[in-house]
A = this chain, B = another copy of it.
Amino acid sequence: MQPPPDYEKMFHPQRIAILGVSPEGGNVGLANGLVLALQAMRYEGEISPVNPKGGTFAGLNILRKVEDIPGEIDFAVIAVAARLVPESLEACRKKGAAGTEILSSGFSELGTPEGISLEQEIREIASRGIRVIGPNCFGIYCPKSGLTFMPSPDLPRETGPVAFLSQSGGMASDFASIGKWMGLRFSKVVSFGNGADLRDVDFLQYLHDDPETRVIAMYVEGIKDGGSFFETIKSVAREKPVIVCKGGLSEAGQRAVVSHTASMGGSRVIWPAILRQVHAIQVQDMQEMAQASLAFSLLPERVYHGVSVIGGGGALGVAACDAAESFGIAIPSFSSDLKSRIETFLPKPGSSAANPVDVANPFVPPQILKEVLRHGAMDERIDLQIVISLLYHYKALARAMGKPVAAVTPYSELADVIADVTKETNKPIIVALPNSKRGLEDLDIVEMMERARKLLLEKGIPVFDEIKDAFRGIGHVNTYYGYRSTAHE
């Protein structure tokens, strides 16, 4: 039996070797990109680039051999040709590295005897004490330590409660990028590629105990050992939500999985059933995964039965009701007393004070919304409120007034109002910010809406593009805390 991996050293290394960095003027490879990315992220530890050619890159001297690095290393990034990987790994092991990420591809995913045998060599070296992430991966993004993926020099250093595990490097870096603007903040993100040594189950066990992680999201293509995979999820899901996106459930998808990460897929029928059994939350794509993660990050841990919907106009209210019902959430009609009190604030005609509340036009001032939200929260059947804000309509106003759209749109006041009412009523408010105007002539709207999103997120208010995304997110939270409240194990 191996000792457990020293994850602390792997996620927060002080001294990193990077193998395969080409000298200035040579071919720029993966390793060069990673050096630049780490510098851009202001990684505070020591970076030792290695290449037999020597030379310099990005202000660093390139050492010719791992053995030339003075002292020990904590972690290594290996991005050399596949056939050179085993000896590089062995050198890093001897240098005391607790772990490595192997970015190189050309292993079992090729399906060739040579690739499979090289991966077997990696596994053998790993069993002698150096733990391996990869090969054929993008590695680790850990905002706390400043580690990042090869193509991602621009991720935030701000930490948060979401962890993400993925075989696919593309999905891992995309998810981190989506999270950046959507408001997810991460504890650890790991792309483990072929998973020759450390895999989903290992990281799940680690994240289960990791105090910095509250929400675990995973993109899964194939698994090695179904029994331990699902058992581990079941045990982790008792304490933290585990959100799973399973790719490759179709026939052609399974074929693609094999050439992508060399693992076995599974069936479209069995997966959803088992995931339900182990109390995981299944999502269909990365957008839904990000939305679910946002809801789990920012909403208090409970089931939300009744929701009020304010703003948006008639048809969006109708869409809200349809979405709510499909996720088992109620939009209870307000009592006639509450209705008449809300009516006093609304412009007439064209408004409706029932739930959903149609405020008749998109220019209703935030102070009016504040009163409506305060009153909506008085209904004890309401656990959460949703505001649909059609900020893009302010462009027409800006145009009429000859001003920039950001100058006439009260998004900052809106954010204040929503934060205030959330605090005052102790019921969370979600904002939906749909935008039908995204063309080249309307980039000012896009920018203004991203400013609005950022401001709301900074105040801890979850923001979704579409109303149905918001309801689906709440639906996942409800499913999970429903499991938790009925589990007697």
Q: Flag whether A466 is at the interface (Cβ < 8 A).
A: yes
Taking CB atoms and an 8 Å cut-off, the chain A residues in 313-354 that contact chain B are 313-322, 324-326, 330-331, 333, 349-350, 352, 354
Chain B residues near A228: list those with CB within 8 A.
Answer: none
**What is the distance, in angstroms, from A175's C-beta to the closest C-beta of chain B?**
8
- Count identical subunits in the complex: 2
Q: Flag whether A396 is at the interface (Cβ < 8 A).
A: yes
Tell me which of B285, B437, B443 contacts A177 (CB under 8 A): B437
A150 to B152 Cα, complex, angstroms: 45
Q: Flag whether A180 is at the interface (Cβ < 8 A).
A: yes
Q: Map CB proximity to B onto A120-138 as digits: 1 under 8 Å, 0 otherwise.
A: 0000000000000000100
Q: Flag whether A55 is at the interface (Cβ < 8 A).
A: no
Do residues B181 and A439 form an inter-chain contact, with CB atoms below 8 A?
A: yes
Q: Flag whether A67 is at the interface (Cβ < 8 A).
A: no
Chain B residues near A252: list those with CB within 8 A.
Answer: 321, 324-325, 330-331, 333
Q: Flag whether A209 is at the interface (Cβ < 8 A).
A: no
Do residues A400 and B349 form an inter-chain contact, with CB atoms below 8 A?
A: no
Do residues B393 and A151 form an inter-chain contact, with CB atoms below 8 A?
A: yes
Do residues B436 and A443 form an inter-chain contact, with CB atoms below 8 A?
A: no
Chain B residues near A466: list those with CB within 8 A.
Answer: 285, 287
Q: Flag whether A154 is at the interface (Cβ < 8 A).
A: yes
- Most-contacted residue by chain B among A110, A252, A326 (CB, 10 A): A252
Chain B residues near A325: list those with CB within 8 A.
Answer: 250-253
CB-nearest residue of chain B to A252: B321
Q: Flag whether A205 is at the interface (Cβ < 8 A).
A: no
Q: Flag whether A170 is at the interface (Cβ < 8 A).
A: yes
Q: Map CB proximity to B onto A422-447 as digits: 1 under 8 Å, 0 otherwise.
A: 00000000000010111111110011
Classify chain A: how many residues form its interface, as a range: 35 or more
Chain B residues near A356: list those with CB within 8 A.
Answer: 256
Chain B residues near A178: list those with CB within 8 A.
Answer: 436
Q: Flag whether A260 is at the interface (Cβ < 8 A).
A: yes
Q: Flag whether A259 is at the interface (Cβ < 8 A).
A: yes
Do residues B358 and A250 form an inter-chain contact, with CB atoms below 8 A?
A: no
Tell me which of B316, B321, B437 contacts A250 (CB under 8 A): B321
CB-nearest residue of chain B to A222: B318
Tell me which of B36, B260, B358 contacts A259 (CB under 8 A): B358
Q: Flag whether A248 is at the interface (Cβ < 8 A).
A: yes
CB-nearest residue of chain B to A193: B314
CB-nearest residue of chain B to A82: B349
**What is the distance, in angstroms, from A162's C-beta to the closest C-beta of chain B?**
15
Q: Map CB proximity to B onto A293-326 as digits: 1 under 8 Å, 0 otherwise.
A: 0000000000000000000111111111110111
Q: Map CB proximity to B onto A164-179 as digits: 1 under 8 Å, 0 otherwise.
A: 0011101101110110
Chain B residues near A442: list those with CB within 8 A.
Answer: 181
- Please give 4 more A-B residue pairs, beta carbons under 8 A apart, in addition to A178-B436, A440-B451: A152-B396, A247-B318, A285-B468, A443-B443
5 A-B contacts (beta carbon < 8 Å): A105-B349, A151-B396, A250-B321, A260-B315, A443-B446
Q: Which 8 A-B pairs have the closest CB atoms?
A: A260-B314, A181-B439, A250-B325, A168-B315, A253-B321, A252-B321, A106-B349, A177-B436
